[in-house]
C-alpha cells in the first residue's frame, strides 16, 4: 500500500500542477509531459491493485 499511496499523491500533485500551468497559459506543449506522468502513475496504481488482488 506504500507504493500505491505515493503514486496517488504524485498523481494528485501532477494534476494540480497541470491545471496551474494550463491556467498560466503555458500551453499543451509544456503541460503535456505532466499529463503523461499523471496517466502513467494512474496505470501504475491500477497495476499494483491488480497484482495485489491475485
Residue 1 has pLDDT above 70, yes or no: no
Q: What does DSSP assign to residue 24?
A: T
pLDDT for the residue 19:
82
CA angle, corner 14, sides to 49 and 52, nearest 5? 5
50 compared with 26, residue with greater pLDDT: 50
pLDDT for the residue 29:
74
pTM for this predicted structure: 0.57
Domain ranges of the chain: 2-53
**How many C-beta atoms lie closer than 10 Å to residue 18's C-beta?**
21
Q: What is the pLDDT of residues 34-47, one digit of tens each?
A: 778 878 878 888 88
CA-wise closest residue to 22 among 33, 30, 12:
30
pLDDT for the residue 37:
80
3, 41 contact by CB (below 8 A):
no
Amino acid at each position: 500500500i506504500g507504493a500505491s499511496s505515493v503514486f496517488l499523491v504524485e498523481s494528485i500533485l501532477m494534476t494540480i500542477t497541470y491545471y496551474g500551468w494550463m491556467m498560466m497559459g503555458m500551453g499543451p506543449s509544456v503541460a503535456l509531459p505532466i499529463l503523461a506522468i499523471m496517466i502513467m502513475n494512474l496505470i501504475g496504481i491500477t497495476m499494483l491493485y491488480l497484482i495485489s488482488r491475485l
